[in-house]
């Protein structure tokens, strides 16, 4: 995409819309609970840089999946979040409940990605270290729960 003078805001808005169109469900296989039905993947430099900045709040089913990531911050954010660090197999390796605003979360070297979710998501889903999360499209979740033969694969990482 070529950016013309004076249209950079429109280009950034189109990038943001493209990022927001693709959503994933997050399901905890060990606890058989959903953590979110509308997680957006932040897998580009711009998407990771923007993160949740500019948002006033998260709905209970929203979140951000930052790939790759070994840590995040809440500087300039307006609300606290729950943070789940995942390894390359989407296993939970670290949890932070209710990370306040203007904080820097610890770096976890074994982390491949980080989920940022509404507060109390970890508590309500009973998610614990070692749990395996299934992160996939809504269509794949339907196949998984309907018992369709075949393995539900994780979305391809960039």
- Sequence-distant (6+) residues with CB within 8 A of 74 are 80, 81, 99, 100, 101, 102, 103, 104, 105
- Ordered by start, the domain boundaries in the chain are 25-146
Q: What is the pLDDT of residues 109-126, one digit of tens each?
A: 999 999 999 999 999 999
| pLDDT digit string, tens, across residues 18-42 | 445 689 999 999 999 999 999 999 9
Q: Which of 44, 79, 80 lies closest to 65 in space, CA to CA? A: 44
Q: What pLDDT, on a 0 to 100 scale, did the predictor assign at position 9?
A: 53
Distance CA 104, CA 122 (A): 19
CATH superfamily to which 25-146 belongs: Protein of unknown function DUF192 (2.60.120.1140)
pTM: 0.79
Separation in Å, CA 158 to CA 42, 62, 112: 10, 22, 12
Residue 93 CB neighbour total at 10 angstroms: 16
Which residue from 72, 98, 99, 76 is spatially nearest to 86, judged by alpha carbons? 72
The fraction of the chain above a pLDDT of 90, given in percent, is 62
- Report pLDDT digits (tens) over 49-94: 888 988 889 888 899 999 999 999 999 999 999 999 999 999 999 9
Q: What is the pLDDT, as a whole number, of residue 92?
A: 98
């Amino acid at each position: 995409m070529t950016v013309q003078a004076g249209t950079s805001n429109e280009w950034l808005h189109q990038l943001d819309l493209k990022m927001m169109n693709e959503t994933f469900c997050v399901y905890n296989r060990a606890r058989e609970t959903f953590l979110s039905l509308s997680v957006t993947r932040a897998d580009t430099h711009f998407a990771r840089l923007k993160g949740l900045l500019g948002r006033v709040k998260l709905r209970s089913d929203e979140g951000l999946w930052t790939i790759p990531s070994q840590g995040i911050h809440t500087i300039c954010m307006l609300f606290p979040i729950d943070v789940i660090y995942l390894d390359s197999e989407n296993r939970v390796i670290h949890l932070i409940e209710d990370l306040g605003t203007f904080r820097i979360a610890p770096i976890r070297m074994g982390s491949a990605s980080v989920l940022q979710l509404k507060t109390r998501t970890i508590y309500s889903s009973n998610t614990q270290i070692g749990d395996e999360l299934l992160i996939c499209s809504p269509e794949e979740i339907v196949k998984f729960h309907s018992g369709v033969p075949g393995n539900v694969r994780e979305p391809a990482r960039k």
